[in-house]
Structure 1
Amino acid sequence: MDDGITLKKLDIFLTFMRTGTLAEAAEALGLSAVSVHRAIHSLEEALKCPLFRQEGRLLVPLPSAQVLAEQGQQVLASLDDAIKAVRETAGVYSNQFKLGALYSLTLGTVPQLIAGLKLRKGELNIELSLDSNTVLFNKLKALELDVILVALEPGFEDPDFITLPLFEDDICLAVPPDSPLQALPQTNLDNLNDATFVTLAKGFATSQDSYRAFDKAGMTPNVVMQVSDIFSLISMVSAGVGLALLPRRVEAVFENKIRLIPLAPECQVTQQISMVCLASRERDPRILSCIAECRSYARRIASK
């Protein structure tokens, strides 16, 4: 195809065919009449055949122009359909919104954010995926998720991502309700070298933060079981299988199953819960709505 045949020139040509005069086409396109005439003449040269005959100051369409108008409209319509299909396949600018989050955030944060997002953009069809930090990040990079709610490491910075802090949460020692440890005001983990522990599998933020706390305390935990979600972990602690380290946000919902004891300052660890999206997709209207709702949520949490 000749480089002189472009979609811009085709659009100008079709506008002229629809309006009938250079002046009206120029007004519709926000161009000068000279620019419209030049684009049409350039298109004729690229096609290597005439499209109009000159009658005074008028351009009268030839049969070739009628054929190009019919075929050109089909080309632009097909291109528009293709762009929409590509965007929908990629999940961009559609009504489908894929949100990823940590299991523990379904206890309060996720329902509140979804409710607020539906008020802002009621036509959204929100699909929620729950998984570990590692898996959620991988799905975000692969465009399988639009936004994720995760725990970020201290000092996390990456130009490929936009991050928005939501709140901070302390890691605590979780014990059964009848444990003698539950009366302690706080605990230093190095006093628990003989205790058994259950943890989340690798890749989960709480698992990583647990080992950060163990390292600070200078101890190697006796881990007897690893599980793949925080609710199973709570059940194992409640049943007496072992102790665990959990974020404070689970306490209000599971206070009948576990007790949380603050860690001593020397082994204390804090989680930074944040919203994350790809920097390249920040201007997606759905993601902008989510960012706005997350900002509102963060302000409400900070004011409490």
Structure 2
Amino acid sequence: MRDRIDEEITFRKLEVLLAYMETENLAKTAEALDVSTVSVHRALHSLEQGMRCALFRHEGRNLKPTDAARTLADVAKEVMALMSDGIRSTREAAGHSSDRLKIGSLYSLTIQTVPDVVIDIKRRRPALQVELVLGSNTELLERLKQGTIDAALMSLPKAEPEIESIPLFEDDIFFAAPAGSPYANQEAIDLRDCRHERFVSLSEGFVTYRGFVEAFRVAGFTPDVAMTVGDIFPLMNLVSGGLGYTLLPGRVRGFFGDKVQFIPLQSQYLMRQTIGLSFVRARERDPNILALMAVCRLSARRTR
């Protein structure tokens, strides 16, 4: 069994020892560490008490290191370096101040928001390696809780104690139809008039799917859904190909040119998504998260 380390032996005191061994001068050591000479003397004296042996001999007002002090200093260098590496590795394992940042995102945000954010954060932190993980709102929220992503650009989730979210912008939901459809010239769509139509939809877990279900609940009927998909871009392909109609957020308008038309819904079906940045509350002071928050706010201001 190893001997227990005396409580008088601390990392801070070992740091003082290493600084003193470089100068062998109390005043210079105090200046280097931004403390008083009394604090330096006290730290060295308490180390001797903790080691239970003399580390210095007095020559007038000077403290001369003994062989024991040199031995302890050699060990202290290794201990301090190892602990420093350990702290860095531990923080990186938790995602704090790492040189990598995993950002989760909804597929629909990869058109403009994600590229803007990635470019801006690379400008602020050039050495940062950014990895993008795409998924539904449900998937991204679960990944946040598991710690497999650092932050997520997504529709704001319901309030949860461990998750912090900042709103960035709001987005309306539209009726999406292929070019030249019978609905093309309508100013606003009453979904009750679409009872006989076929629809396509995102799968469960996407925030747009929840809006889709709610809109037809208001309309009072269950739509005929020909196909569900797990990505908004194949969904738009299905619409442009005439397989069915759907409901889509305005942020993807124009991605398919004039092949997909976005028509407003009547007021009783109006829905709005709040898009924001979410992350684990315990990491709100992490430098990478702070930088990401700043660039996300900047991106949101540009898109208003």
TM-score normalised by L of structure 1: 0.92
Query: Residue 121 of structure 1: which of 104, 125, 129 is its match?
Result: 125
Asked if 1:26 corresponds to 2:33, the answer is no
Give CA-to-partner distance per residue, 1:258-277, whole Å, 9 cap, x none: 22221100011111111222
Supply the distance in 1 between the matched residues of 2:21 and 2:32 (Cα, whole angstroms): 12
Please list every run of 5 or more consecutive structure 1 residues that lacks an aligned counterpart in the other structure: none
Supply the distance in 2 between the matched residues of 1:180 and 1:18 (Cα, whole angstroms): 84
Give CA-to-partner distance per residue, 1:231-280, whole Å, 9 cap, x none: 11112222222221111222211133322221100011111111222222
**Amino acid of the structure 2 residue aligned with 1:255:** G
Find the counterpart in structure 1 of residue 210 from structure 2.
208
Find the counterpart in structure 2 of residue 257 from structure 1.
259
**Amino acid of the structure 2 residue aligned with 1:268:** L
Find the counterpart in structure 1 of residue 171 from structure 2.
169
Q: Trace 1:210-289 onto structure 2 (pairs within 5 A).
A: 210-289=212-291
Supply the distance in 1 between the matched residues of 2:119 and 2:59 (Cα, whole angstroms): 64
Query: Residue 87 of structure 2: which of 83, 90, 93 is its match?
Result: 83
Query: Residue 145 of structure 2: which of 141, 162, 176 is its match?
Result: 141
Please list every run of 5 or more consecutive structure 2 residues that lacks an aligned counterpart in the other structure: none
1:183 is paired with a residue whose SS is: coil
Supply the distance in 2 between the matched residues of 1:196 and 1:4 (Cα, whole angstroms): 76
Find the counterpart in structure 2 of residue 41 from structure 1.
45
Asked if 1:106 corresponds to 2:106, the answer is no
Moved over 4 A (4+): none
8 Å Cα contact 1:161/1:278 also seen in 2: yes
**Amino acid of the structure 2 residue aligned with 1:217:** A
8 Å Cα contact 1:189/1:219 also seen in 2: no
Q: Label 1:152 to 1:217 Cα distance change in 2 as closer, same or farther (>3 A).
A: farther
Deviation at 1:158, TM superposition (A): 4.2
Deviation at 1:136, TM superposition (A): 1.1
Deviation at 1:228, TM superposition (A): 0.6
Query: Residue 190 of structure 2: which of 185, 188, 191 is its match?
Result: 188
Give CA-to-partner distance per residue, 1:170-193, whole Å, 9 cap, x none: 111112223212222111212222
Number of matched pairs = 300
2:252 is paired with a residue whose SS is: helix
Find the counterpart in structure 1 of residue 100 from structure 2.
96
**Amino acid of the structure 2 residue aligned with 1:251:** R
2:183 is paired with a residue whose SS is: helix
Supply the distance in 2 between the matched residues of 1:149 and 1:218 (Cα, whole angstroms): 32
8 Å Cα contact 1:165/1:298 also seen in 2: no
**Amino acid of the structure 1 residue aligned with 2:93:** T
1:75 is paired with a residue whose SS is: helix
Asked if 1:14 corresponds to 2:54, the answer is no
TM-score normalised by L of structure 2: 0.92
1:171 is paired with a residue whose SS is: strand
Deviation at 1:101, TM superposition (A): 0.9
8 Å Cα contact 2:156/2:165 also seen in 1: no
Supply the distance in 1 between the matched residues of 2:212 and 2:131 (Cα, whole angstroms): 30
Supply the distance in 1 between the matched residues of 2:218 and 2:295 (Cα, whole angstroms): 36
2:263 is paired with a residue whose SS is: strand
**Amino acid of the structure 2 residue aligned with 1:245:** L
Supply the distance in 1 between the matched residues of 2:254 and 2:286 (Cα, whole angstroms): 35
**Amino acid of the structure 2 residue aligned with 1:299:** R
8 Å Cα contact 2:156/2:277 also seen in 1: no
Give CA-to-partner distance per residue, 1:13-36, whole Å, 9 cap, x none: 221112202222222222222222
2:253 is paired with a residue whose SS is: helix
**Amino acid of the structure 2 residue aligned with 1:133:** N
Find the counterpart in structure 1 of residue 66 from structure 2.
62
Deviation at 1:207, TM superposition (A): 0.8
1:180 is paired with a residue whose SS is: coil
